[in-house]
Amino acid sequence: MPLKITMPALSPTMTEGTLAKWLVGEGDTVQSGDVIAEIETDKATMEVEAVDEGIIGRLLVDAGSEGVPVNAVIALLLEDGEDATALDSVDVGSAGPGPAPTPSQQPAAAQPVATAPAPTPAAESGDRVFASPLARRMASQAGLELSGVTGTGPNGRIVKRDVEAAIASPGAQAVAPSAAPVASAAPVPADASPFEPAFDLDPASTMRKVIAARLSESKQTVPHFYLTVDCEIDELLKIRKDLNARSDDYKISVNDMIIKACGIALRKVPEANASWTGDALKIYKTADIAVAVAIDGGLITPVVRDAGGKGLETISNEMRELGAKAKDGKLMPEEFQGGTFSISNLGMYGVKQFDAVINPPQGAIMAVGAGEPRPVVKDGALAVATVMSVTLSVDHRAVDGAVGARFLAAFKALIENPLTMLL
């Protein structure tokens, strides 16, 4: 019996994904552990490995298909000794958008006895149009009316190739006959104002949609409050320079030292390393620091585990490796899930200060601004120091103001006296 390859759940929040790319074709032999596809999740683009060995008998979902539900069958694998006829007996359920079966792939009862009737449009006027999410997006961008497109996917579903063929055909840009004529040749969205400036629509990736949903939920349901302190970092910059001059095996950044200081401060004030569950507080035993990394289409937060218990060289090497994997979309789930506290650093962009949005279920996130020369008063006299502003966004359900203030005091002491981080 052919084996079913299903859309995997690659993160706790994933309910559907985009099959970004097939790395195998029908007829290819695969071994357990071979990479067969790339899946775009709500977090990153990840490689999917084959669990079993065999021959790829049928690909049921097109590359580029969006909205493929978790556990939907995306391909069939022939085991040793099976041939293509075994595929016809497999019930794949709703496999999601995918290529149309070839005549040889159809069950015997479905083979036409006489000349097949001409294909019919996907829907008559007023009927529901069945189309893949990718096909709908392409049609919308091209101003194409889907009701006049013939679907060649499973059960007459309109798929990518159908839209491409319709766009290439004469008169493809025309809208339904009942539609009122418009003065402009460019398609106008239904909700657009006639006075709205021209714009391009950039379809949101799965990651961007999840970011939008989660952060909207955070601001609507999490009672944020904010605490800001200024830290003098001249001594930290000096120590960093001295450490980096000692070896070519590492290059410690200011951000690495901030991660280390956060980890130690959370050890000193464990009540700040908490999250709200609805009826109890989780007080975490280790400070697993999630660090925001900007990537194409959004951001992701790789996690440095037990940051307070690691040396600066270890943290620096881990962050360099995690950052590179994040930008390449190669992070594994365990490398970006399960953080207890977050850091978002925009100092390298010259941002002086900002308020970050908490990433649920975490109880706090620290926004780090740029270090810059500012006037300060020392021993009653005016002086100049390099000052960095940090703002702590806190979930008031999990962490009270006094606890947040104690955490920032501990963090500030470590940043301004960096040798204490090395003890």
Annotated catalytic residues are 396
DSSP state, 172? T
Q: Which phi and psi (to 5°) does residue 50 adopt?
A: -70, 140
One-letter identity of residue 417: N
**Helices 234-245 & 254-268, crossing angle to 10 degrees?**
120
189: Cα separation from own chain's centroid:
27
Give the Cβ contact number of residue 395 at 10 Å. Answer: 23
Q: Which phi and psi (to 5°) does residue 38 adopt?
A: -115, 130
- Give the Cα-Cα-Cα angle 112, 117, 122 (nearest 5 degrees): 115
Spatial CA neighbour of 23 closest among 2, 9, 39, 38: 38
Is the CB of residue 100 less than 8 Å from the CB of residue 92?
A: no
Q: Which phi and psi (to 5°) does residue 7 adopt?
A: -65, 120
In a 10 Å sphere around its CB, with 0-12 CB exposed, 13-18 middle and 19+ buried, how is residue 249 labelled?
Answer: exposed
47-80: buried (b, 16+ CB within 10 Å) or exposed (e) per residue? ebebeeebbbbbbbbbbbbbbbeeebbbbbbbee
Strands 54-59 and 73-78 turn out to be antiparallel
Tell me how far apart the alpha carbons of residues 26 and 170 are, in angstroms, rounded to a whole number.
Answer: 33
Coil/strand/helix, residue 312: helix
Is the CB of residue 64 less than 8 Å from the CB of residue 160?
A: yes
Question: Structure tokens of 92?
Answer: 């794949």
Q: Which phi and psi (to 5°) does residue 41 adopt?
A: -105, -170
Tell me how far apart the alpha carbons of residues 382 and 371 are, in angstroms, rounded to a whole number.
Answer: 18
